[in-house]
Amino acid sequence: MDDQQYLNKARDILRTRTPLIDKGRLRSFVDEFIKDRQRYQEAHDRAGSPLYLFDERALIRKAKEFRNAFHSEFPRVSIFYALKSNSHPFIMESLINEGYGIDVSSGKELEQALRYSPAKIIFSGPGKTLEELCLACGNADTVTVLLDSFGELSRLGETASGKDVRIKAGVRLMIEEKGLWRKFGILLSDIERFFDEAKKYPNVELCGLQFHSSWNLDAGKQTDFISRLGRVLAQMNRDVLQKINFIDIGGGYWPVQGEWIQPCATQEGRLKQCIEPGIPEGMEHYGISSAPIGEFARRLAKALEEHVLKYVDCTIYLEPGRWISHEAMHILVKVVDKKAYDTVICDGGTNMIGWERYETDYFPVINLSQPSLDEHPCMIFGSLCTPHDLWGYSYFGSDIGPGDILLIPMQGAYTYSLRQEFIKPIPPVHRLQ
């Protein structure tokens, strides 16, 4: 593109109007937590602050909702919780009790899952080491390995033969042939060759296909890939098709609240920041909507019926992480210092979540000690020695001051798992009553 084309494109982007979160919707979201504040206050009275709060009630509700949505659309389905989204044992244990299998992505996660004896485990991810494959083969009655490459097939074949076990496996398919996502899986056009190659390894029972795409606000990306897969299956040999007894369509379902973002994370905001860095953040909260889980289930079932299930008779595997764990954990911190009417420092820092989430994502900070549905601008910092240690640019409350207890609700996904032993210790996890 030449400069003029860039300028034209920039003008179009600046005209984009990412929708604001509806104020009424936001207030009723906050109100639910204010109504329940006794529950969080009691947790603080027992365990102090800062804290991660495990909300088992919310977790079980989500687990059942997800399962019901897919069970009502699919004849045969198995659900595996993606442990990476929140690896706390409370969460895994509750989900295993709900009948979920576990999706692990490393030897460490596999060891952790095995300690809780789920009925089934799938082991996905690129670059599995020989030690990891060995651990999988030692537990071949429970574990299915989702292979990432031809090389990994031969390493699994040799490891399984060395241990004299037969292990179930599937192969991951590449969803994008260019860019970062070509890291994962094999080309669609290589499926038949992969099944052919697997004949050399009698200790590997290759019987499935897997794909995964992340951050799906609706099922569009997944259904597009399902139709591409269908076109490949249509050309494939019958004896290969007969070997496929599961298709794993991954995770990546976005929570129903939608994506809540700060101004600088919108398309137009990103561009404005490049031109004028440091524009103030504040009270404008943007929301990109996402589809309800029932709609994901309906669209995926329809696409699979139309493109895939006429060729293969199989069970559908699902690997949800974020959608299940998002609501299952909240963060509680206490204000330690008030440095100006609009600047406070809290006892917990963003090492609790491992990344500078709230510079781009918005989540309400709720003052449980001085509750109100009014939102005020205020820099809510943690106490780490970095300016990026920020919980938000505003709070809900009538005022804010030292000793106040703040709740940042629904922080269960990709936060606790990414926690860092950085400057401050990692706080305890408290089970809410």
Q: Which of 199, 67, 79, 207 is nearest to 144 (CA)?
A: 207
Query: 286-320 burial, b for 16+ CB within 10 Å, e for fewer?
Result: bbeebbebbebbbbbbebbeebbbebbebebbbbb
Site residues for ligand PLP, 58-97, by CB under 6 A, read 82, 84-85
Q: Looking at 168, 212, 330, 334, which residue binds ligand PLP (CB under 6 A)?
A: 212
Q: Tokens 């004299």, residue? A: 164
Q: Does 252 bind ligand PLP (CB under 6 A)?
A: yes
- Cα dihedral 269/271/276/278 (nearest 10): 40
Complex with ligand PLP: residue 142 or 325, whichever CB lies closer = 325
232 CB-near residues (< 8 Å, 6+ apart): 188, 189, 191
Complex with ligand PLP: residue 216 or 351, whichever CB lies closer = 216
Complex with ligand PLP: residue 216 or 266, whichever CB lies closer = 216
Q: Does 255 bind ligand PLP (CB under 6 A)?
A: no
Q: Does 225 bind ligand PLP (CB under 6 A)?
A: no
Q: Which residue is nearest to ligand PLP (CB)?
A: 321
Q: Looking at 205, 319, 327, 389, which residue binds ligand PLP (CB under 6 A)?
A: 319
Q: Which of 60, 67, 143, 63 is nearest to 109 (CA)?
A: 143
Q: Does 321 bind ligand PLP (CB under 6 A)?
A: yes
Complex with ligand PLP: residue 195 or 254, whichever CB lies closer = 254
Complex with ligand PLP: residue 58 or 379, whichever CB lies closer = 58
Q: Does 334 bind ligand PLP (CB under 6 A)?
A: no
The answer to whether residues 177 and 140 touch, using CB atoms and an 8 Å cutoff, is no
Site residues for ligand PLP, 96-155, by CB under 6 A, read 103, 124
**β-pairing verdict for 375-381 and 101-104:** unpaired
Number of shown-chain residues binding ligand PLP (CB under 6 A): 16
Stretch that binds ligand PLP, among 194-202, 296-304, 315-323, 361-369 (CB under 6 A): 315-323
Q: Does 208 bind ligand PLP (CB under 6 A)?
A: no
Q: CA-CA distance, 68 to 393, in Å (whole number)?
A: 38
Q: Does 412 bind ligand PLP (CB under 6 A)?
A: no
Q: Fill in the DSSP letter of residue 278.
A: T
Q: Does 329 bind ligand PLP (CB under 6 A)?
A: no
Q: Fill in the DSSP letter of residue 253.
A: B
**Angle at CA of residue 263, ends 259 and 269, nearest 5°:** 110
Site residues, ligand PLP (CB under 6 A): 82, 84-85, 103, 124, 212, 214, 250-253, 319-323
